[in-house]
Structure 1
Amino acid sequence: MGTRLRVVQWATGNIGSRALAAVIEHPGLELAGLWVSNPAKLGCDAGTLCGLPETGIRAVGTLEEVLAIPADCVLYMRQGTDIAELCQLLASGRNVVTTRGDFHHPPRMDPAERQAIEEACAAGGSSIYSTGSSPGFVTEALAIPLLSLSRRLDCLTIDEYGDVSTRNSPELLFEVMGFGQPMAAFDQSRADHVKADFSASLAQLAAGIGLEIDEWRAFGEYSPARADIEIAAGPVQAGTMAAQRVTVDGLHRGTPRLRFRANWFVTTAITDAWQLRESGWRIRVEGDTPLDVGITFPVAPENYAAFTPGLTAHRAVNAVAAVCAAPPGIRTTVDLPQVLARLEA
């Protein structure tokens, strides 16, 4: 780590802005460039866009401008994944760390897209890695050492809890997510969307530990409020939807062996016995070395929106050094060395 690695930040949404600030402040990284999609941000100083002093690095808006910047790595955090764009970055010799979930388990990728990415990595001597907090940290980086204590695994269950009662976003909660609406059948397409990302991450874990999975299944459920409540976004009446969860199961011979369950709720006072907890994760290992691990976030509600982007952004920033040192190709948490955070002395 004697030489600072040059990094281009690609996009400045909630996650990208936090990653940008982390790169600027990181002792082992140097901000080399910044790509933005919003025309209003073009030419703006990178520091200004993330609440830090000016850096002298101005935002650009084209791939060609990024390719003209000497860099070791691109932190790719745009909306959507552009395979052709990534292939040009990788073929130019720039490694990529992304919070897009497309590369958690290469065998599950579209064969043509995987081949194109692998060929670009070979041409540029570069590598690409998908990571984040969930999927990523909780489904891979945390699960791997927990399972290192076991010799027989009956089932790994990861529960993710999201209490959104303090979020003052009526359109998101009531119209998009459906809280406070009459009970109805769960939209299976939403469950399938969650399955796409999380089954890929868990499939990487299964392959790494030699666990055979025959089928991936996902389903969603709603639960109503037991009483009228008032949340930051407005009222939720008794009998209307107050909690929802999506379960992704990896099965072997019909029995769940790996399970991820996303629980979103505005109150724990619901009709069904879902054992909801405060926001965070619960990881249970059932087997010859049973474990029950809980993680919560001791953050005041008013600071929550400012805190959560770091959960995803910081792991990606911390992974840059390991990815730059890795052999060319699509890299995974299973084959990379442990990601270490290099902090200020």
Structure 2
Amino acid sequence: MTAAQARTGDKNCRVVQWATGNIGLRSLRAIIEHPKLSLAGLYVYSDAKAGCDAGELCGLPPVGVRATRSIDDILALKADCVLYMPQTIDVDDLCSLLESGSNVVTTRTEFHHPARLDRAVRERIEAACRRGGTSLHSTGSSPGFITEAMPLVLLSLQRRLDVLRIHEYADCSSRDSPEMIFNIMGFGQAPNPQAEAGRAWYLREEFGPSLRVIAEAVGLSFDSVESSGQVALARKRTTIAAGVVEAGTVAAMRTTVSGMRNGKPLMSFTANWFVSYDIDADWKLRGDGWQVEVEGDCPLDMHLHFTVPEARKAATTPGYTAHRAINAVRYVCAAAPGIRTSVELPQIVTDLSAQA
């Protein structure tokens, strides 16, 4: 399928939204409002949401589609695609969806580089795709857009690559979630080497596969993928939306995932997450967004800043992840059966005809 065909095809894709967290609710709203997608069903994990109208759950008028907690209800719909966005994957559910004839687009990160999957799991999913004639694709903003789509465009100018660096900046000070900020992420806590090592391992698993698929796409490879992390401390007592960060506790964290080649980083992703700019390290923090540096025979330094006002940040930022998945639906439905990567799909072009 070409980009033009994906945007102008007459057939509306019947889509199921699976899960309604922050990203899932934004995805649900986008499906309902999309000119060439129709909401076929909604799967939820909460008993309180079961039976509720999908439109009302995401702040829209009723649409006549009721949420369900039964996968059998979803399988019976025979939808073209499922937007699969749970907190953890269930391989049984996933294979049932694919085998039933529904393609899957997911914001889960397990499938960016299929070769890194457990062999038995991969073979099981691929077999389900073959039986259902379906495909599975992982995407989102990070990893996804900034670690795959954007690098592919920038690398199209190069005939020699020395290093590709991706920096992510996230100011978490306006997030009013004490459990997430203090207990899960570890801001406002004393430095904890074990937690830093755990975060480095986690991000290596999240971003390493995405970097690998891009390296392989341009004919290169990594000898290994390594990760490391460090923290910076608040210089003074600081009040943020979630509470108070005392002086001398963690106010910023930096984690780098590097694809190594010949003893040096060839591609890297660095997450800079923070709740204060006033820290005891010279990290040159900037507002929410990304920086991509390319060193090669056509050097580049690109900055993408999120220009969302603080008052609209919570409502807007889920779209950065959800919308790329929505825009990928038609391409994934047209793809060959199997787990498909960003490299294997056409360039994803959005359809904005609803606002015309």
Superposition TM-score, scaled by structure 2 size: 0.94
Paired residue type of 2:266? R
Report the alpha carbon displacement of residue 229 of structure 1 after superposing the two structures with TM. 2.7
Report the alpha carbon displacement of residue 227 of structure 1 after superposing the two structures with TM. 3.1
Residue 210 (structure 1) aligned with residue 222 (structure 2): no
Aligned with residue 88 of structure 2, among 57, 60, 80: 80
Query: Helix, strand or coil: the match of 2:67?
Result: coil
Residue 161 (structure 1) aligned with residue 169 (structure 2): yes
Report the alpha carbon displacement of residue 61 of structure 1 after superposing the two structures with TM. 1.0
Asked if 2 retains the 8 angstrom alpha-carbon contact of 1:223 and 1:270, the reply is yes
How many matched pairs? 345
Which residue matches 1:107?
115
Which residue matches 1:24?
32
Query: Helix, strand or coil: the match of 1:141?
Result: helix
Cα distance in 2 between the residues matched to 1:169 and 1:61:
27
Cα distance in 1 between the residues matched to 2:160 and 2:350:
31
Structure 2: gaps spanning 5 or more residues: 1-8
Cα distance in 1 between the residues matched to 2:73 and 2:240:
46
Which residue matches 1:123?
131
Cα distance in 1 between the residues matched to 2:242 and 2:25:
26
Paired residue type of 1:144? L
Paired residue type of 2:46? N
Which residue matches 1:320?
329
Deviates more, 1:220-229 or 1:27-36: 220-229
The equivalences for 1:129-148 within 5 A come to 129-148=137-156
Which residue matches 1:288?
297
Aligned with residue 151 of structure 1, among 152, 155, 159: 159
Q: Percentage identity across aligned positions?
A: 55
Structure 1: gaps spanning 5 or more residues: none
Asked if 2 retains the 8 angstrom alpha-carbon contact of 1:128 and 1:331, the reply is yes
Report the alpha carbon displacement of residue 220 of structure 1 after superposing the two structures with TM. 1.0
Deviates more, 1:309-318 or 1:184-193: 184-193
Which residue matches 1:189?
198
Asked if 1 retains the 8 angstrom alpha-carbon contact of 2:178 and 2:243, the reply is yes
* 1:73-110, Cα deviation, whole Å (9 max, x unpaired): 11111121111211111111110000111110111111
Aligned with residue 98 of structure 1, among 106, 122, 131: 106
Which residue matches 2:15?
7
Aligned with residue 315 of structure 2, among 297, 306, 312: 306
Aligned with residue 282 of structure 2, among 273, 282, 295: 273
Asked if 2 retains the 8 angstrom alpha-carbon contact of 1:104 and 1:131, the reply is yes
Cα distance in 1 between the residues matched to 2:266 and 2:275:
29
Asked if 2 retains the 8 angstrom alpha-carbon contact of 1:216 and 1:250, the reply is yes
Cα distance in 2 between the residues matched to 1:87 and 1:184:
39
Deviates more, 1:168-177 or 1:317-326: 168-177
Paired residue type of 1:90? L
Cα distance in 2 between the residues matched to 1:31 and 1:65:
14
Query: Helix, strand or coil: the match of 2:42?
Result: strand
The 1:145–1:86 alpha-carbon spacing in structure 2 relative to 1, beyond 3 Å, is: same
Deviates more, 1:220-229 or 1:86-95: 220-229
* 1:105-158, Cα deviation, whole Å (9 max, x unpaired): 111111001100111111111000000000000000111001111111111111
Cα distance in 2 between the residues matched to 1:71 and 1:141:
27
Query: Helix, strand or coil: the match of 1:342?
Result: coil
Residue 255 (structure 1) aligned with residue 229 (structure 2): no
Cα distance in 1 between the residues matched to 2:224 and 2:270:
16
Which residue matches 1:339?
348
Asked if 1 retains the 8 angstrom alpha-carbon contact of 2:258 and 2:267, the reply is yes
Report the alpha carbon displacement of residue 297 of structure 1 after superposing the two structures with TM. 1.1
Asked if 2 retains the 8 angstrom alpha-carbon contact of 1:244 and 1:263, the reply is yes
Asked if 1 retains the 8 angstrom alpha-carbon contact of 2:55 and 2:62, the reply is yes
Cα distance in 2 between the residues matched to 1:10 and 1:161:
29
Query: Helix, strand or coil: the match of 1:39?
Result: coil
Cα distance in 2 between the residues matched to 1:121 and 1:133:
25
Paired residue type of 1:66? I
Query: Helix, strand or coil: the match of 1:142?
Result: helix
Query: Helix, strand or coil: the match of 1:315?
Result: helix
Cα distance in 1 between the residues matched to 2:37 and 2:76:
19
Cα distance in 1 between the residues matched to 2:174 and 2:67:
34
The equivalences for 1:61-72 within 5 A come to 61-72=69-80
Asked if 2 retains the 8 angstrom alpha-carbon contact of 1:67 and 1:92, the reply is yes
* 1:24-46, Cα deviation, whole Å (9 max, x unpaired): 11011111111111111111111
After TM superposition, where is structure 1 displaced by more than 6 Å over at least 4 residues in a row?
A: none
Asked if 2 retains the 8 angstrom alpha-carbon contact of 1:24 and 1:30, the reply is yes
Query: Helix, strand or coil: the match of 1:6?
Result: strand
Which residue matches 1:238?
247
State the Cα RMSD in Å: 1.2
Which residue matches 1:170?
178
Cα distance in 2 between the residues matched to 1:16 and 1:168:
19
